[in-house]
Structure 1
Amino acid sequence: MSARPDIDVRPIREDEIPDWIRAVHTGFLRAPEVSDREVAERSPYIVPSRTLGAFDDRRCVATFRSFAQELTAVGGAPVPADAITNVTVTATHRRRGLLTRMMGQDLAAAKERGDVVATLIAAEYPIYGRYGFGPATWATEWTVDVPRAGLDPRLSVPPDGGRIDLVTGEEVRKLGPELHERLRAGRPGVVDRDERWWQLSTGALRQDRFPWTEPFHAVYRSADGTVEGLVTYVCDNTWADAKQPLNTATVKGLIAVSPAAERALWRYLCSIDWVTTVKSGWRSPDDLLPFFLPDPRAARITMQADWLWVRILHVERALEARTYEGEGTLVLEVVDPDGLTGGRLRLEASAGGASCTPTRQNPDLTLGVGELSALWLGDESAVRLAALGRVREDRAGAGRVADALLRTSRRPWCPDVF
């Protein structure tokens, strides 16, 4: 069913923010009431020109918002991204093309601004592939049975001369941004964090709609005193009938810029008195956890799913922005039904850089922009996509050439939700 012509899809006005927030609540099955405080909290961060609504007889029935973001490409270069969030369509107005209209308006504006990619975290898998998005990073959560893990509690102090210190939220706001910038420079898939992110994560800024529990923060300092890791976690207070502790430490965020810091922070979490279970939070699927544990089976996977979705808006710029571990040439036929990018392009890549230019040569691979978007950060395999029938090898062995050029030694990771 197509949208009725009297359903108006457009940027919202400031006076429509409360109705727009109410529609967001409705779409995410939250209580539909909107307080004056919530409107006051959210309004400074809602840019009306990048906040779309679908209005049926002045009632907001679909929502869509985007904001400026930087996404780390392979090799550490930040690329401008159109970050998409707050996407809803009210149940009474589904199947009318409202999301398609909002997405079309936003992506066209992003391309006009010069954004290289668009990004989002998908609540449902089947929706966004039809708009040219592909799952570019994945996330895994482990639940660690601490007594079974086999760690020697006497080794809770880092053996490399480093140390673990508990710190306050105020200290995190001073130490965290620089540490995160170091992480961002070395890990594809990481996105930037603004001052508001650090305020929200440390309780300096609180929102009525989200209950706040004051967390613990711990940093790892190397032997020379440099902060190389940070973990934020909360603990419950659960005991067995026989006065046996059964407490769980739940990680809200852990970033580390060295393997020593990563191992030391996980070891610290598993050495806290009374803690018998550690929930890892959303991690990269190739995290050092659980394989540094004496018994890796003590960590069971409790969640594994697609995470950051990427939609390339400018193929040439996207492929030239990243680095390549190998050297080679690949002619790609990139199909974009929406006409935002694509065409036949010759990629010449080496450790020294890359060029991507239009060509009339016969293609080596033919693929949709969504498939290229899934490959761009280095996680997906062209050979696997070809086996699934989603990439066509026009030249035998081209999938292996693509994997040798595009794949990375460590998987990309996005530690944030937005």
Structure 2
Amino acid sequence: MTDIRPITDAELPDWTRALNTGFLRPPTVTDQALADRRTTIADSRTSGAFDAGRCVATFRSFAQELTAVGGAPVPADAISNVAVSATHRRRGLLTRLISDDLTAAKDRGDVVATLIAAEYRIYGRYGFGPATTMTEWTIDVPRAGLDPRRSGPEDGGRIDLADAEEVRKAGPELHERLRLAQPGAVSRDEHWWAADTGLLRPGGNPWTEPFYAVYRSADGTVEGLVSYAADETWSAAKQPRNTASVNWLLAVTPAAERALWRYLCSIDWITQVKTGWRAPDDLVPLLLPDPRAASISTQADWLWVRILDVVQALQARTYDAEGSLVLEVVDPAGLAGGRFLLDATPDGASCTPTTRSADLTLGVAELATLWLGDESAGRLAALGRLREERAGAARGADALLRTSGRPWCPDMF
């Protein structure tokens, strides 16, 4: 019988080796990598599956906040570092690991669980549904039609280069401003900023400092930050063909967002900009005089959500319309199922268990897909993934649940 348990510090090297192997990384584990990983998992729930004393599966979760529609932070159980060795597949190890974790999260009072799915087909069977989408564009700078004579923002703001220390000071507060205004965004702790600016290297990888630029409004307030790298590619005719690759870009005002993208497209020698993971309704293509210069290079599901408390999840978010909806939520794991009455208004909402006849019957994964407002109940009904118990109920659900702006999670975890 494979033993599943929280790991000890002495088992961390074996656990890390199993994690690296599962993600097809070199299995070598250095002392520096272990030291950095110890700091990042200090407050986490880190477990492993062991067979004859060898780690054959890894699992980690940690405390997180997820922003609901309307800006309320919701306590979440963030799941990461999931790997099962190829020698031990189809033995139920992930099921045991994730079931234990979700039960503990429910007992703690977490409202949802979150993850970024490496593979699409795994997590639906545990009640997770894809709740946000990400898009990456590649911008052909010469074709974009931007005026090369522009020297900077025209709104009285300014852009300056920054270093890692400045980013560690200004970044957390800026990110919090963005997070509390962006449904689907998640919290970042001090370890995130340390790892992203080179103080920590949890994977043991060499550190190459990126370029950082900061946008300040006319009154000096930091309203945007970008981290990016650039290659050194030249044509045979000695013409620059360099690409700027954005690691992340944070902007809390449209002016900051416009200024940072125009800055990236104005750097000497840069003929192509890769935007990194952005919201699917990001401003960037339409900021360009020729939006066709921005072609989609990646578009896929991103943040997956698992509802653990239906009442708290539906009461945490806001609603632009007024209406009532009775949902029959099916959860084979027994964590969040039941029949619930949602009474919503723009001033607030209540959600209570009810014996009234259901308007819609849907799985807990489908509820998660609808919760952040990106998916359509009508589409799910057409796909056979939810059932209308009352004619027109899916259309009514869309009027309540869908949002004008699409949810977005800027982070990988």
TM range (shorter): over 0.9
Per-residue deviation, residues 177-232 of structure 1 (Å, max 9, x unmatched): 11111101100111111112112212233456223221111111112221111111
Q: 1:345 aligns with which of 340, 365, 370?
A: 340
- 1:366 Cα deviation (Å)? 0.5
**Greater mean deviation of Cα atoms: 325-334 or 167-176:** 167-176
The residue matched to 1:232 in structure 2 has which SS?
strand
Per-residue deviation, residues 375-407 of structure 1 (Å, max 9, x unmatched): 111111111111110011111111111111111
Give the distance between the partners of 1:208 and 1:380, measured in 2 at CA.
35
- 1:342 Cα deviation (Å)? 1.7
1:414 partnered with 2:409? yes
- 1:243 Cα deviation (Å)? 1.4
- 1:154 Cα deviation (Å)? 2.1
Give the distance between the partners of 1:204 and 1:29, measured in 2 at CA.
25
Q: What amino acid is the match of 1:84?
A: I
Q: 2:262 aligns with which of 242, 259, 267?
A: 267
- 1:47 Cα deviation (Å)? 4.8
Per-residue deviation, residues 108-133 of structure 1 (Å, max 9, x unmatched): 00001110000000000000000000
Tell me if the contact between 2:32 and 2:204 (Cα under 8 Å) persists in the aligned partners: no
Change in 2 beyond 3 A, CA 1:247/1:72: same
- 1:156 Cα deviation (Å)? 4.3
- 1:92 Cα deviation (Å)? 0.7
Percent identity between the two aligned chains: 73
Give the distance between the partners of 1:399 and 1:314, measured in 2 at CA.
22
After the TM superposition, which residues 352-367 of structure 1 pair with which residues of structure 2 at under 5 Å, given as runs? 352-367=347-362
Q: 2:287 aligns with which of 292, 300, 303?
A: 292
Q: 2:298 aligns with which of 282, 296, 303?
A: 303
Give the distance between the partners of 1:95 and 1:329, measured in 2 at CA.
43
1:404 partnered with 2:399? yes
1:328 partnered with 2:317? no
Structure 2: 5+ residue stretches without partners: none
- 1:36 Cα deviation (Å)? 2.1
1:150 partnered with 2:132? no
Q: TM-score, normalised by structure 2?
A: 0.98
Q: 1:114 aligns with which of 90, 95, 109?
A: 109
**Greater mean deviation of Cα atoms: 64-73 or 223-232:** 223-232
Tell me if the contact between 1:217 and 1:230 (Cα under 8 Å) persists in the aligned partners: yes
Match of 2:83 in 1: 88
**Greater mean deviation of Cα atoms: 177-186 or 194-203:** 194-203
Q: What amino acid is the match of 1:157?
A: G
Tell me if the contact between 1:14 and 1:48 (Cα under 8 Å) persists in the aligned partners: no
Change in 2 beyond 3 A, CA 1:14/1:249: same
Give the distance between the partners of 2:391 and 2:287, measured in 1 at CA.
40
1:242 partnered with 2:204? no
Give the distance between the partners of 1:401 and 1:284, measured in 2 at CA.
26
**Greater mean deviation of Cα atoms: 120-129 or 219-228:** 219-228
Match of 1:167 in 2: 162
The residue matched to 1:355 in structure 2 has which SS?
strand
Tell me if the contact between 2:64 and 2:186 (Cα under 8 Å) persists in the aligned partners: yes
Give the distance between the partners of 2:220 and 2:42, measured in 1 at CA.
41
Tell me if the contact between 1:12 and 1:48 (Cα under 8 Å) persists in the aligned partners: no
Give the distance between the partners of 1:196 and 1:7, measured in 2 at CA.
32
Give the distance between the partners of 1:117 and 1:147, measured in 2 at CA.
45
After the TM superposition, which residues 215-230 of structure 1 pair with which residues of structure 2 at under 5 Å, given as runs? 215-230=210-225
**Greater mean deviation of Cα atoms: 50-59 or 349-358:** 50-59
Match of 2:135 in 1: 140
Tell me if the contact between 1:28 and 1:88 (Cα under 8 Å) persists in the aligned partners: yes
Give the distance between the partners of 2:2 and 2:127, measured in 1 at CA.
25
Match of 2:314 in 1: 319
Change in 2 beyond 3 A, CA 1:104/1:407: same
Q: TM-score, normalised by structure 1?
A: 0.97
Match of 1:68 in 2: 63
- 1:49 Cα deviation (Å)? 7.3
Change in 2 beyond 3 A, CA 1:29/1:215: same
The residue matched to 1:106 in structure 2 has which SS?
helix
Q: What amino acid is the match of 1:354?
A: A
Match of 1:3 in 2: none
1:392 partnered with 2:384? no
Q: 1:104 aligns with which of 69, 74, 99?
A: 99
Match of 1:189 in 2: 184
Give the distance between the partners of 2:270 and 2:50, measured in 1 at CA.
51
Match of 2:365 in 1: 370
The residue matched to 1:213 in structure 2 has which SS?
coil
CA RMSD of aligned residues (A): 1.2
Give the distance between the partners of 1:167 and 1:15, measured in 2 at CA.
40
Per-residue deviation, residues 15-70 of structure 1 (Å, max 9, x unmatched): 21111111101111111221222222212332587212111111111111100001
The residue matched to 1:40 in structure 2 has which SS?
helix
Per-residue deviation, residues 286-312 of structure 1 (Å, max 9, x unmatched): 000111211111111111111100000
Q: 1:33 aligns with which of 25, 28, 32?
A: 28
Give the distance between the partners of 1:83 and 1:291, measured in 2 at CA.
34
Tell me if the contact between 1:12 and 1:49 (Cα under 8 Å) persists in the aligned partners: no
Match of 1:199 in 2: 194
